[in-house]
C-alpha cells in the first residue's frame, strides 16, 4: 500500500504542480502526517520533489518535472475507461486505480478518459430476462456519448415497426445483460433498448447534454417508473428456501422474501402487471410452489392446468 500511495502522490504533484501536505492528505484520504512522510520519502528517493516554505508554498516537482506513467494514446485511454468504468462502480479498488490513471494521462487525454468512465451504469437487478448477447451497437453508442455527437438509427418499437430516430446520447445502462440507451429527443428524454436499434451511425452534429445530467440518478427515475407499471398486482407464495434464487431470476426486483412458515417453507411476495402474468411464470413449477393469495392468480393457475390436462392428459 505504501508504494501504491507514493505513486498516487507523484501523480497528484504532476497534475497540480504544487500541493500542501493538507491538500494531498484530503486527496488521498490519509492523515496530514502520513502525506508529509510520503512527500519526504519521494524527495529522499531522488525524485525532484522539494518543499517551498512561506505563503503560497507547498511541495512541487522542481523544474516542472513530468512523467507519463501510462504510455497510452488518446484512443487507448478512452477504450480502457469505457471497458473499466462500469466495473469501477461496484469495485472500489478499480475506481481508485482509474482515478490515479487519470492523473497520469497527458492533459489533452483526461477529459475523454473521465467522460468514458461515466458513460455506463451497471444495474445487476434483473427484469426476468437472461442469456442475451451484447448488442453490436453498444461500442458505437459509447463513442458517441464520449464525443458528444448525435446518433441516427432505426428503432423497432413494441409492435416491431421501425422508425428513424436522431437523438442526443446521454449514457448507457447495462441491466443484467440487457442494454439501454438514455437519450434526449425532440419529445424529451427517452430510454431505448439497444437490441432494438439497427443501422446506427454517429453524425457530425454536436449533441446537447444538460450540465446537471447525472446518469445514475436518471436511471433510478426510469426504473422507478417501470417498476410501478410492472408491480400492479402482487401474490404471496410458499416455496422451499433453496428455490428462492430461481424465483428471483424469474421476477427480478419483484420478489421479496417475507418469513419462514412452520413447515420450513418460506413465504415470498412476487408481483407483475396482472394475474395471468404471475400465473404464467409459476405454472411450470407445478406443486413446488403454492399460491396463498390472491384468488385471481389461483384461478388463472387452475385454468392453465385444466387447459394442459385437456390437451395432454389421458384420452
DSSP E strands: which ranges in the chain?
A: 18-19, 49-52, 58-61, 120-123, 149-156, 162-175, 178-185, 188-193, 197-206, 233-239, 255-260, 266-272, 290-293
Instruction: Indicate the domain borders of the chain.
Output: 2-64, 74-118, 137-228, 231-312
Which class would CATH give 2-64?
A: mainly alpha
In angstroms, the CA 4 to CA 156 distance is 49
Distance CA 280, CA 44 (A): 71
CATH topology classification for 231-312: Alpha-Beta Plaits (3.30.70)
The radius of gyration of the chain from alpha carbons, rounded to an integer in Å, stands at 27
Which residues lie across from 188 on neighbouring strands? 185
Judge whether 213 and 170 are in contact, CB under 8 Å.
yes
- CA 74, 80, 86, 87 dihedral sign is negative
Residues 195 and 235: their CA atoms lie apart, in Å, by: 31
- The series of mean pLDDT values per 10 residues for the chain, 315 residues long, is 64 77 87 87 69 75 53 50 49 54 56 57 57 78 86 85 91 82 92 92 93 85 74 87 90 87 92 88 91 94 91 82
Note the pLDDT of residue 18: 81
Among the four given CATH numbers 2.40.170, 3.40.1710, 1.10.3210, 2.30.30, the one describing domain 137-228: 2.30.30
Instruction: Give the per-residue pLDDT at 213.
Output: 87
Amino acid at each position: 500500500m505504501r508504494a501504491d500511495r507514493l505513486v498516487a502522490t507523484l501523480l497528484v504533484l504532476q497534475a497540480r504542480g504544487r500541493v500542501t501536505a493538507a491538500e494531498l492528505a484530503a486527496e488521498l484520504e490519509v492523515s496530514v502526517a502520513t502525506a508529509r512522510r510520503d512527500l519526504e520519502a519521494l524527495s529522499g528517493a531522488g525524485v525532484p520533489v522539494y518543499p517551498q516554505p512561506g505563503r503560497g508554498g507547498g511541495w512541487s516537482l522542481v523544474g516542472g518535472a513530468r512523467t507519463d506513467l501510462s504510455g497510452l494514446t488518446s484512443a487507448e485511454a478512452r477504450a480502457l475507461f469505457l471497458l473499466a468504468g462500469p466495473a469501477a462502480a461496484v469495485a472500489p479498488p478499480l475506481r481508485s486505480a482509474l482515478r490515479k490513471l487519470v492523473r497520469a494521462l497527458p492533459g489533452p487525454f483526461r477529459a475523454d478518459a473521465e467522460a468514458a468512465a461515466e458513460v455506463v451504469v451497471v444495474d445487476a437487478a434483473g427484469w426476468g430476462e437472461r442469456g442475451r448477447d451484447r448488442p453490436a451497437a453498444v461500442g458505437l453508442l459509447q463513442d458517441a456519448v464520449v464525443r458528444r455527437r448525435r446518433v441516427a438509427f432505426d428503432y423497432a418499437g413494441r409492435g416491431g415497426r421501425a422508425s428513424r430516430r436522431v437523438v442526443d446520447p446521454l449514457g448507457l445502462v447495462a441491466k443484467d445483460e440487457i442494454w439501454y440507451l438514455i437519450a434526449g429527443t425532440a419529445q424529451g428524454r427517452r430510454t431505448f433498448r439497444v437490441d432494438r436499434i439497427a443501422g446506427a451511425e454517429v453524425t457530425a452534429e454536436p449533441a446537447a447534454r444538460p450540465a446537471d445530467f447525472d446518469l445514475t440518478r436518471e436511471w433510478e427515475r426510469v426504473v422507478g417508473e417501470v417498476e410501478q407499471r410492472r408491480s400492479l398486482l402482487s401474490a404471496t407464495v410458499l416455496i422451499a428456501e433453496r428455490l428462492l434464487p430461481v424465483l428471483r431470476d424469474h421476477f427480478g426486483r419483484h420478489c421479496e422474501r417475507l418469513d419462514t412458515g412452520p413447515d420450513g417453507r418460506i413465504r415470498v411476495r412476487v408481483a407483475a402487471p396482472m394475474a395471468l402474468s404471475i400465473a404464467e411464470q409459476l405454472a411450470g413449477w407445478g406443486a413446488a410452489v403454492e399460491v396463498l393469495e390472491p384468488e385471481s392468480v389461483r384461478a388463472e393457475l387452475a385454468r392453465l392446468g385444466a387447459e394442459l390436462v385437456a390437451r395432454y392428459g389421458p384420452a
